[in-house]
Amino acid sequence: MTTAGDIMHRGAQWIPAHETLDRAAQLMRELGVGALPISDENERLCGILTDRDIVVGCVAMGHDPSRVTAGEMAQGTPRWIEADADIGEVLREMEDHQIRRLPVIENKRLVGMISEADLVRNLSEDQIAEWAERVYARG
């Protein structure tokens, strides 16, 4: 059985909710990623910040990214998956919530992240096509 832990990329890092968006953008650049899980003061997942969130939700709105925090951008209920969840559960979670990145948790700690690239490396073309149709469906 293939699990979330098998396909995730390790080394995902939190961005604390109190950290500013300019620092988040710098960290994304340093890590070569387009999203960071946001943690509260107890290192619990409280959202995910994407590079698009920074551009569309802050900069394009005329706000200063050095004055807006990651926590202020966190919206909705954060989604995540346990490292031992099978690939079917991963796909259902992403499809049901139309998300393209999924933090992976083990023993209540962030251990990795699953992105579209991770799926492409580990699934068949048919599985990818079905996933994309469901995740990108608008309705």
pLDDT band at 103 (very low <50, low <70, confident <90, very high): very high
Residue-wise pLDDT for 23-47, tens only, equals: 999 999 999 888 999 998 888 888 9
* CATH classification for the domain delimited by 4-135, as one of 1.25.40.10, 3.10.580.10, 3.90.550.10, 1.10.357.140: 3.10.580.10
Report d(CA 67, CA 35) in Å as an integer.
Answer: 19
Judge whether 111 and 83 are in contact, CB under 8 Å.
yes
Residues in CB range of 116: below 8 A, 6 or more apart = 100, 101
Query: Which residue's structure tokens are 């990145």?
Result: 101
Per-residue pLDDT, 43: 82
Residue-wise pLDDT for 82-101, tens only, equals: 999 999 999 999 999 989 99
